[in-house]
Structure formats: structure tokens, C-alpha cells
Amino acid sequence: MPDVMPEIVCEVCGKRMFHENVDTLKIEDAVHKKFCRKDGGSYSYMHRDQQHNTPMDTEREVDTDGKPVLKR
């Protein structure tokens, strides 16, 4: 009988998480619940929140070619 990898699928965003250790999977799920993008939107972790559009790290606001890194 083949071993089945334990998995959890987020009901909100549909992300599939799997890990061979059930305790680690539960921790991964708890962390995901805190950072799940419930509205499906994309945002950069360089922002404090969605209403605050000024980058926290202005030195890395653009890439080496001068193109903006942030999704606006």
C-alpha cells in the first residue's frame, strides 16, 4: 500500500500545502492563514498595508535596470 502525503487545501484561496510530517503541515497551515490573500489581490511585501503606497525600502524600489519592482 503506497504512503499518502498529508495535504491541506486552503478553502479561501485554493493553495495546496503538503508535507510528510503532519505537525509541520499544521504549522504551515497556521502561517498561511495569517498571510492568505483572501481577496485574491496581489501586493508586495515591501508595503506596510494596501493603503500605504510608499515603499518601506526605497533603495530596492527599482531593479538594477531602473524598473519598478512593486506591483501597483
Residue 57 lies in a domain: no
Residue 46 lies in a domain: no
Residue 4 lies in a domain: yes
Say if CB 69 and CB 46 are below 8 A apart. yes
Could you list the residue range(s) of the whole structural domain that residue 15 is in? 1-40
22 beta partners: none
Flag whether the pTM goes above 0.85: no
Residue 55 lies in a domain: no
User: How many structural domains is the chain composed of?
Assistant: 1
Helix spans in the chain (H)? 22-35
Tens digits of residue pLDDT in 2-52: 578 899 999 988 889 999 999 999 999 999 888 887 765 555 555 555 566
Residue 70 lies in a domain: no
